[in-house]
């Protein structure tokens, strides 16, 4: 894998952590690199416009019963509204409408240290959101 084509902060993180091709998956068709963090979290690092990067991880599957799914989304919106002034992460509904994922943007000019800080905060937020959804 050629790291020079990756977001510079992500590339520096991969170098610093001495991750090699056994630990970092090859870029997917959509250009994402998948990092396994704490053996619980698969964080997708997706390229975004203007050289930015988006961190993404699935949080919870929506219930199949419409009323329950709507209640879960309402709960998510309220929690997001409470958190939005303090945290940069955002819950999103996937394109199939079956999962709620968490996303956070990393600016194109983020350094390795800034990327590491954002990633650490993102993983901490995943833990918070899993408590909100009562997912272990």
Asked if pLDDT for residue 92 goes beyond 80, the answer is: yes
- How many distinct structural domains can be found in the chain? 1
Task: Give dist(CA 86, CA 135) in Å, integer.
Answer: 22
Kindly report the pTM of this predicted structure.
0.86
Please report the beta strands in 30-129, taking only residues with DSSP state E, as ranges in sequence order. Answer: 33-37, 41-47, 53-61, 90-93, 99-106
Domain of residue 114: give its range. Answer: 3-132
- Is the pLDDT at 136 greater than 70? The verdict is no
Q: CATH no. for residue 25?
A: 3.30.1460.10
* pLDDT higher than 80, residue 128: yes
- Tell me, what's the pLDDT at 5? 67
Residue 124 falls in which region: left (phi positive, over 0), alpha (psi -120 to 50) or beta: alpha
Q: Residue 13: its pLDDT value, please?
A: 86
pLDDT in tens, 19-68: 665 555 566 777 788 888 877 788 999 989 998 999 999 999 999 999 99
């Amino acid at each position: 894998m050629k790291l020079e084509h990756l977001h510079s902060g992500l590339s520096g993180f991969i170098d610093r952590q001495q991750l090699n091709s056994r630990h970092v998956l090859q870029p997917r068709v959509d250009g994402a690199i998948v990092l396994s963090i704490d053996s619980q979290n698969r964080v997708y690092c997706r390229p975004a416009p203007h050289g930015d990067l988006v961190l993404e991880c699935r949080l919870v599957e929506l219930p199949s019963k419409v009323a329950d799914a709507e209640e879960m989304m309402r709960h998510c919106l309220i929690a997001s509204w409470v958190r939005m002034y303090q945290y940069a992460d955002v819950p999103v509904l996937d394109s199939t409408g079956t999962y709620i994922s968490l996303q956070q943007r990393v600016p194109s000019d983020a350094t390795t240290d800034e990327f590491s800080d954002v990633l650490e905060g993102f993983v901490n937020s995943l833990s918070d959101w899993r408590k909100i959804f009562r997912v272990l």
